[in-house]
């Protein structure tokens, strides 16, 4: 083997080593959260509810199915879960997870059931929704991944969040 071949070989080995080192030290991004810190992937949890579309159709009404599984939106002022029902929680109609506390419900005047925050941080997760030429933050149930509605930043202080949720996919469970 010539001296030149040995030198070329050494250079290639060095370049490969540098490449491997760059890959190892590349900045890692948390796959769970997006740039805004909101959970952007379906949370892994032991009580996850996964069903086929046929199974969902059996347990949901056509309206509930079109919203929860088809990402639909109910008509505003359709009246479902708009009124104050006292102390309790609003549960997901798909999997019964408590999603919103009645005490955090407020009248936004929009015609949709509105809350200042979820029942707990791990009750919901978020997806950036760019449909209809808008950039909105979609809210999904953490247990069954069902579509619930959207969250906006024009709510009341201090958090200024407005969870605009389809009342059709919530069922009220009074506090015992």
Residue closer to Zn ion, measured from CB, 143 or 162: 143
In angstroms, the first-to-last Cα distance of the chain is: 86
Mask for 88-127, x = binds Zn ion (CB under 5 A): ----x-xx-x------------------------------
CB of 13 vs Zn ion, minimal distance in Å: 54
* Choice from 141, 148, 165, 169 touching Zn ion (CB under 5 A): 141
- Taking alpha carbons only, the member of 119, 58, 74, 55 closest to residue 92 is 119
Q: Which residue has the tokens 């919203």?
A: 67
* Site residue total, Zn ion (CB under 5 A): 8
**Spatial separation of the C-alpha atoms in residues 64 and 73, rounded to whole Å:** 10
What are the angstrom distances between the C-alpha of 112 and each of 9, 47, 83, 134, 153? Answer: 68, 29, 10, 19, 15
Burial 17-55 (b: 16+ CB within 10 A, else e): eeeeeeeeeeeeeeeeebeeebbbebeeeeeebeeeeee
Residue with Cβ nearer Zn ion (140 or 162): 140
CB of 27 to Zn ion, least distance (A): 34
Provide the β-strand partners of residue 152.
Answer: 162
Q: Which stretch binds Zn ion (CB under 5 A): 39-47, 112-120, 125-133, 143-151?
A: 143-151
In the complex with Zn ion, the residue whose CB is nearer, 77 or 91, is 91
Residue of 173, 120, 123 lying closest to 143 (CA atoms): 123
Q: Does 67 bind Zn ion (CB under 5 A)?
A: no
- Residues of span 144-173 touching Zn ion by CB under 5 A: 144, 146
* Residues noted as catalytic: 164
Given the complex with Zn ion, which of 67 and 95 has the nearer CB atom?
95
| Interface residues toward Zn ion, by CB under 5 A | 92, 94-95, 97, 141, 143-144, 146
């Amino acid at each position: 083997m010539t001296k030149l071949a040995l030198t070329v070989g050494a250079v290639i080995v060095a370049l490969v080593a540098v490449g491997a080192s760059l890959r190892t030290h590349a900045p890692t991004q948390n796959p769970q959260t997006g740039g805004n810190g909101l959970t952007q992937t379906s949370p892994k949890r032991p009580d996850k509810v996964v069903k086929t579309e046929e199974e969902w159709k059996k347990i949901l009404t056509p309206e509930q199915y079109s919203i929860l599984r088809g990402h639909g939106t109910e008509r505003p002022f359709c009246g479902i879960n708009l009124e104050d029902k006292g102390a309790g929680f609003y549960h997901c109609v798909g999997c019964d997870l408590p999603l919103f506390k009645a005490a955090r419900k407020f009248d936004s005047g929009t015609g949709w059931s509105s809350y200042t925050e979820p029942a707990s941080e791990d009750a919901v997760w978020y997806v950036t929704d760019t449909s209809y030429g808008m950039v909105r933050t979609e809210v999904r149930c953490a247990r069954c991944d069902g579509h619930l509605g959207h969250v906006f930043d024009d709510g009341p202080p201090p958090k200024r969040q407005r969870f605009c949720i389809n009342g059709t996919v919530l069922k009220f469970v009074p506090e015992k």
